[in-house]
Every structure is written in C-alpha cells, then in structure tokens.
C-alpha cells in the first residue's frame, strides 16, 4: 500500500513539473497531490495513531481548496 502511494505521489509530482507552464494544470495537480497525501496520512493515522492529528491537515486542505477555487474563478471570469 505504501509503495503504491509512493508511486502515485511520484507520478503526480513528475506530471506537476511537466505541466508547470500551465497555471491551471499546476493548480489541479497540486490539489490532487494534497488529497493523495491526506488519504495516505489518514490510512497511517487510522492504523497507528488517533485521528485528531489529521484534522490539522484537513483544515489545510479546505483552506487550500478555497484558495485554489477562488484563483480559478477569477481567471475564468
């Protein structure tokens, strides 16, 4: 499971650098990367720790999603 998540992370990370010239692509790739990290951490914390630590990262994802969506809407207007 961890190696599969690492391969997905590496694939998205390399795609981020290949599509760096497109701002909208980089926003979408960063969003998917943060969600991948969130689900990996949730799996890890669910098995080994309590879920209270993951709530800090969940708040970060919500704030980042709101910021990314506001930038996306301003560009598309």
pLDDT tens digits for range 5-16:
677 777 766 766
pLDDT tens digits for range 4-60:
767 777 776 676 666 556 666 667 777 777 777 777 777 777 777 666 666 776 777
* Count of CB atoms situated within 10 Å of the CB of 29: 20
C-alpha atoms less than 13 angstroms from C-alpha of 50 in its C-beta half-sphere: 3
Question: Distance between CA 16 and CA 20 in Å, rounded?
Answer: 6
Nearest by Cα to 25 from 34, 15, 36, 35: 15
Question: Distance between CA 28 and CA 72 in Å, rounded?
Answer: 10
Gyration radius (Cα) of the chain, Å: 14
């Amino acid at each position: 499971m961890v190696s599969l998540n690492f391969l997905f992370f590496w694939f998205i990370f390399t795609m981020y650098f290949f599509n760096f010239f497109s701002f909208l692509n980089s926003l979408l790739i960063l969003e998917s990367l943060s969600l991948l990290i969130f689900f990996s951490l949730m799996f890890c914390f669910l098995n080994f720790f309590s879920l209270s630590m993951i709530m800090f990262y969940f708040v970060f994802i919500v704030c980042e999603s709101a910021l990314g969506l506001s930038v996306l809407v301003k560009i598309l207007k």
